[in-house]
Amino acid sequence: MFSSNSIKIVFILISLLTQACGFWQSKTDANTSATPFVVEGIKSDVPFSNKEPDVYQTEISVMASGVEDVTFTARNGANRLTLFDFQKKTEFAVLRTAENRIFQINHRRKVYAENESSLNVSDATGDSLKNSLTAEWLNQKKDAKFENLGAENNQTKYRITFSDAANSEIVISVDEKINLPIKQEFFSLSGGGKTLMLTMELKNFSLQTEAKLFEVPKDYRKISPKEFQEILRRER
């Protein structure tokens, strides 16, 4: 999901939806503590899966006010990779391996830094998809009503409303093949109409990954974490 110059996806809908659907956390900061990630589905009446797959890769697109932010995330067991600012000049990666080694990688400059355990680098990898599936309103067991809007093109749509947020709703599209929400649209309701405020969509989703995603290229030059952070600051 490192410096203050890193793009942070903080859903503006949290305030509009009175925290009924705050499912995204900010991208990580290098000074925050690492916490182990536990994959657990939320037991609820939600009519689709909210458990992160053991193996997958996808692009997570967040669109708000005409501005799109894309993050690539992949997982294979305990191996996790996140590419922030995906396919932009400022793209950088965070890789956590099954051996609990954490790397920051800049593919454009072909450099990487390995973070020592004493640096307390936050575990960004995996948070993006996890937070979109196990939304805060699920964790807090909000009084959510699910209305099936029907199926089209192998996708089933649900309208979600909340007893404590009458001025908002979410429309979720669930891919019937993988039983996961691949698109979430957040609306603000006012005067009998509704306004789309934010869209989160999974693109190019696959339940397969390549091993090379979780490896640091052998020809990349190793630099210190401090130097890596300095490069990020300059490029942002």
- CB-CB neighbours of 139 under 10 Å: 14
Quote the pTM value.
0.75
Our count of domains for the chain comes to 2
Q: In whole angstroms, give the CA distance from residue 84 to residue 67.
A: 15
Q: Supply the range of the domain harboring residue 74.
A: 13-134+204-235
Give the Å distances, CA to CA, from 233 to 104, 114, 153: 14, 18, 44
- Asked if residue 13 lies in contact with residue 91, where contact means CB atoms within 8 angstroms, the answer is no
Residue 63 lies in a domain: yes
Residue 64 lies in a domain: yes
Judge if 37 and 91 occupy the same domain: yes
Question: 170 and 196: one domain?
Answer: yes
117 shares its domain with 210: yes
Q: Which of 40-49, 87-96, 157-166, 174-183 shows the lowest per-residue confidence on average (mean pLDDT)?
A: 40-49
Identify whether residues 121 and 157 lie together within a single domain: no
Rounded to a whole number of angstroms, the distance between the first and last alpha carbons of the chain is 18
Q: Supply 94's token pair.
A: 């965070």
Q: Is there a contact between 60 and 24 (Cβ–Cβ < 8 Å)?
A: no
Q: Is residue 2 part of a domain?
A: no
List the alpha helices (DSSP H) in the chain: 13-16, 127-133, 136-139, 225-235
Whether residue 93 is found in the same domain as residue 209:
yes
49 & 152 share domain: no
Comparing 6 with 58, the larger pLDDT belongs to: 58
Pairing relationship of beta strands 193-206 and 111-115 according to DSSP bridges: unpaired
Q: Does residue 6 fall inside a structural domain?
A: no
163, pLDDT greater than 50: yes
- pLDDT for res 47: 81
Q: What single string gives the DSSP state of each residue in 37-55?
A: ----PPPSS-SS--S--SE
194 and 208 in a single domain? The answer is no
Tell whether the model's pLDDT for residue 34 goes beyond 80: no
Q: DSSP E strands: which ranges in 99-226?
A: 102-106, 111-115, 144-152, 155-162, 165-175, 180-190, 193-206, 221-222
Question: Does residue 3 belong to any structural domain of this protein?
Answer: no
